[in-house]
Amino acid sequence: MKSRFEAKEYEFLELESRETEDGTILSIFLNNPSSRNSMTWKMGEEFSDLIHSIRKQKHLPRAVIVSGRNDVFCAGGDLNLLRSFSEKSFSQNRRDMRKFYGFFLSVRKLPVPVIAAVNGHAIGAGLSLTFGCDLRIFASDGKYSFNFVRLGIHPGMGSSYLAPELLGKSLGGRILLTGETFDGNTAKEWGLALDAVPKVSVYERAMELALSLSKASPLALQELKGNLYSWKQLDSALKKEAESQARNFISDDFKETIQSIIEKRDPKFKGK
């Protein structure tokens, strides 16, 4: 019999719950096997719906783990979704991007500890999702990057706020400006990841952490989470990101990005 958290079927998400003497540990897996768990609009709607349903539960889970199926965490925005943005107007994209960010970053509104079990590569918006969680376990050999500027667009999914928040303006700005790729061991050195372990051990390590957190007072953790983060500041950043990306999406440079992805080559930007 499925638990109350697993009662609904999702197309792009899988759920697992583990019952302990202290309560439930809920695991959410991104699952889009056709494109390395890339983020689609439907996945976002499902993710937001799930987070909302968890928040409404009378008995909350003691901790939530967010991970990925298919030996990868998340490859970022889906190509078809990105292509659709290049075909919309500035005002449509500004509205839609803000909504899209909200789907996934709703995870930050969960009043329980959220652990990102980053079991493989996490790129762009996929990496941003891990920054929106409270704690992170990275695959030591996973590849991680905010590659937005290399795609001709302003960083999104809250990364322009979350990266400096977690890493400071110098290092946070560096990984946003350069779009450089780093591995899990480097993430641990920076203090971004609590731990970096082999890919096959990431989820197990995250579960160990979740079980440890479940021993703490849930009321105290809920109060702490409410005091740790400012949704107002993040929301302000999301609005600015949506407007900046909306301008980028109607540029010739972004059309060149889409074409270069299709042709599997590096883009040649001209600043138009």
- The tokens describing 180, both together, are 């450089």
CB of 187 closer than 8 Å to CB of 196 = yes
Tens-digit pLDDT profile for residues 171-212: 999 999 999 999 999 999 999 999 999 999 999 999 999 999
Q: Give pTM, 2 decimals.
A: 0.94
Asked whether the beta carbons of 70 and 36 are under 8 A apart, the reply is yes
Strand partners, 117: 137
Does 7 map to a domain? no
Domain count, the chain: 1
Q: What is the DSSP letter of 201?
A: G
- Single-letter amino acid code for the residue at 61: P
114 lies in some domain: yes
Domain for residue 208, yes or no? no
**Of the given ranges (101-105, 125-129, 217-221, 263-267), which has the lowest mean pLDDT?**
263-267
Which pLDDT belongs to residue 79?
87
**Interval 228-254 mean pLDDT:** 94
Confidence of residue 72 (pLDDT cuts 50, 70, 90): very high
Task: Lowest mean pLDDT of 4-8, 45-49, 170-174, 216-220, name the range.
Answer: 4-8
DSSP state string for 27-60: EEEE--GGGTT-B-HHHHHHHHHHHHHHHH-SS-
Backbone angles phi, psi at 89, to 5 degrees: -80, 165
- CATH assignment of the domain containing 147: 3.90.226.10
Q: Which domain holds residue 174?
A: 13-200+217-263
